[in-house]
Structure 1
Amino acid sequence: MHELQALLREYDRARSYTDELWRDLTPDEVIWRPHEDFSAIGWHLGHQAHVAHFMIRNLTAAEPSPDPALDAVMDSANPEQFRGALPTVRRLGDFRKTVAERVHTRIGNIAAGKVGAPTQMTIVATHLLSALINHEYQHDQWIGEVRAEHLGHALPTDPDSDQVRRIDGYLVLDPCL
């Protein structure tokens, strides 16, 4: 299943691009909100991982949350004012790393045929990874706007990939390329 391995590389590339957007920021910059109803960079970081965990959990393998206390905080269905305090930068980084490891493990098992219904799960995993990559880039756009427009930091160059392009200003994995 070479396509799944290629998509995992694109997932890692998207996550690396996210890291370029936030790893050099101060903890105060990561949790700062430009407006009352505007999510902080830290929320977007946690939300990206939260969605990845729930998609893997709900579509491929039931497993507990790596940090259940973050579930309500990172859920976009909860209005900003009811989400609660953001975790520390270290906890956000750990959460993102753990979720990414779980994505790799589960997709790796699917690619190796170590699941029930491996052909069906390969189809699910292909679409799931595409959605995760595009969701990562979707929130990267918003993180980048706060980084550049509100915090005054330069943006990194776009990821070097033949599979990613900008559509409507957003980086997207384009299956037509």
Structure 2
Amino acid sequence: MTHDINALLREYDRARAYTDQLWKDLSPDEVTWRPHEDSSAIGWHLGHQAHVAHFMIRNLTAAEPSPDPELDGIMDSANPEKFRGALPTVERLTAFRDTVAERVHARMGDIASGRVGAPDQLAVVANHLLLALVNHEYQHDQWIGEVRAESLGHALPPDPVSDWLTRVDGYLVCAPGA
């Protein structure tokens, strides 16, 4: 089953907006703080969310260079925490996230408008890709929210509202038609 790509982009934006509610009011020290040495900081999760979105778009729909190649190794979950390196500044993380989101929108817009080779096939890919991106965003939001509330003592924002959102195993999940 395929869904409207533009509707899925709205869900992607909703997920990103929820992520922003979880971290934008935190201090830079809170964003880069790690609960323990083998744990990732909120800032890593923010960069990782964008890193995965870039690589999925790049590898599944359009080969394009990384918007910030120096962050690729840091934000790759295949690299153990101790080998990732120092986190970038909050400003750089924000710019990275914003640039990746713009690229997601541009590529998905091209697919939705049929301005690609194999537009019907890529529409199927785009549907699954966008659902994966939204659910990956929420997957990491769960951890960010736990650290925000339990370790840093900040209240959680209300869950985003959408007919397509539910909770599974405590995680927000976008499941159109469920």
Q: Does 1:55 align with 2:56?
A: yes
Residue type at the aligned position of 2:51: H
Give secondary structure in 2 for the equivalent of 1:142.
Answer: helix
Unpaired segments of 5 or more residues in structure 2? none
Inter-partner Cα distance in structure 2 for 1:176 and 1:7: 12
Unpaired segments of 5 or more residues in structure 1? none
Which runs of structure 2 are paired with 1:98-177 in the superposition (5 Å)? Answer: 98-177=99-178
- Once the two structures are superposed, residues 29-72 of structure 1 have per-residue CA deviations (whole angstroms, 9 ceiling, x without a partner) of 00000111010000000000000000000000000000000000
Residue type at the aligned position of 1:90: E
- Once the two structures are superposed, residues 3-43 of structure 1 have per-residue CA deviations (whole angstroms, 9 ceiling, x without a partner) of 10000000000000000000000000000001110100000
Residue type at the aligned position of 1:161: S
TM-score, normalised with respect to structure 1: 0.98
Inter-partner Cα distance in structure 2 for 1:16 and 1:169: 19
Map of 2:69 onto structure 1: 68
Inter-partner Cα distance in structure 2 for 1:77 and 1:22: 24
Deviation at 1:175, TM superposition (A): 2.8
Runs of 4+ in 1 over 6 A off after TM superposition: none
Inter-partner Cα distance in structure 1 for 2:109 and 2:14: 17
- Once the two structures are superposed, residues 128-163 of structure 1 have per-residue CA deviations (whole angstroms, 9 ceiling, x without a partner) of 000000000000000000000000000000001110
Inter-partner Cα distance in structure 2 for 1:165 and 1:90: 32
- Once the two structures are superposed, residues 78-136 of structure 1 have per-residue CA deviations (whole angstroms, 9 ceiling, x without a partner) of 00000000000000000000000000000000000000000000000000000000000
Residue type at the aligned position of 2:141: D
Inter-partner Cα distance in structure 1 for 2:68 and 2:75: 11
Give secondary structure in 1 for the equivalent of 2:4.
Answer: helix
Inter-partner Cα distance in structure 2 for 1:161 and 1:168: 18
Map of 2:81 onto structure 1: 80
Deviation at 1:2, TM superposition (A): 6.7
Deviation at 1:174, TM superposition (A): 1.1
Inter-partner Cα distance in structure 2 for 1:126 and 1:176: 13
TM-score, normalised with respect to structure 2: 0.98
Deviation at 1:176, TM superposition (A): 3.2
